[in-house]
Amino acid sequence: MNHPQKSKGQKSRNRGSQGMSLVEVLISMLVLTIAMIGLLSTLTFAMGATHSTSQDMIAKQLADEAMENIFTARNSDQLQWLQIQNQGAGTVPDGIFMPGLQSINQTPTTGATPGLVNTVDYLAAAPKVLSSPGPDGIIGTADDVKVPLVNFKRSIAIADVPNTNNQLRSITVTVQYSASPINVQKTYTLQGFISQFR
C-alpha cells in the first residue's frame, strides 16, 4: 500500500504545531523574571521616595521655622542686633543661638528667649512631636499618631557679611535627617540675609 508523500510545506507546518521546546520555555521564563525584578525595584524605589518626601517636607518646615523665628525676634525688638549671632561671638551682649547641630525640641514659652529655637532655653525643652490624625481622620483626638522628630537635627550659623560695617549678616539653617526606610543621611539647607534695619 502506498502512502501519500508529504510535501516540504506540510512537514514544516507539522513541526511548528508540536509546541515550544524546553529551551524556548526557559528563555521565556528568564525574560519574564528579569521584567518582574525591574518592576519590583521600581515599586520599592517609589515607596521609599514617597516616604522620603514627607520627611523632606518636615525638614523644609523646620528650616523655615528657624529663619522666620530670627526675623520675628528682630522685628519685634525681642533681641538686640548683637544677640542675633551664634554664642561665643565675643560681643556684649553675646549671641544667643547655639552653634552646631541641635536636637529638635518644642519651642520654649518661658525663659530668657521664649519662642526662639536653637537657644539655651530651647535645648532644655522637651523633644518636639508631630501629631497626625489617626483612623478617625480628626486631629486632636485620642487616636492621633504621634511622631517624635528624633532623627532630625538643626543648626543655625550666623556670620557677618564682609564690608557691611556689621549691619548685614548671613544666616544658614541646616537640617540633617535620615530618610527611612533605608536610612539615607540627607541635608536640607536654607540661606538668607538679615539686616540690622527693618
Per-residue confidence (pLDDT) for residue 51, from 0 to 100: 65
Asked if the model's pLDDT at residue 16 lies above 60, the reply is no
Amino acid at 118: N
- Burial class for 102, CB neighbours closer than 10 Å (0-12, 13-18, 19+): middle
Residue 12 lies in a domain: no
Of the candidates 142, 66, 145, the one whose C-alpha atom is nearest the C-alpha of residue 105 is 66
Mean pLDDT computed over 51-75: 91
Which residues span the domain enclosing 115? 22-195
pTM metric for this prediction:
0.72
pLDDT digit string (tens) for 71-109?
999 999 999 999 999 999 888 899 999 999 999 999 888
Gap between the Cα atoms of 170 and 191, Å rounded:
7
Residue 175 lies in a domain: yes
DSSP 145: E
Residue 7 lies in a domain: no
Per-residue confidence (pLDDT) for residue 24, from 0 to 100: 87
Per-residue confidence (pLDDT) for residue 91, from 0 to 100: 86
Residue 10 lies in a domain: no
pLDDT digit string (tens) for 109-146?
888 888 899 999 998 899 999 888 888 988 888 899 88
Going by pLDDT thresholds of 50, 70 and 90, the confidence category of residue 149 is very high
Residue 13 lies in a domain: no
Residue 138 lies in a domain: yes
Per-residue confidence (pLDDT) for residue 64, from 0 to 100: 97
Count of structural domains, the chain: 1
Residue 6 lies in a domain: no
Residue 53 lies in a domain: yes
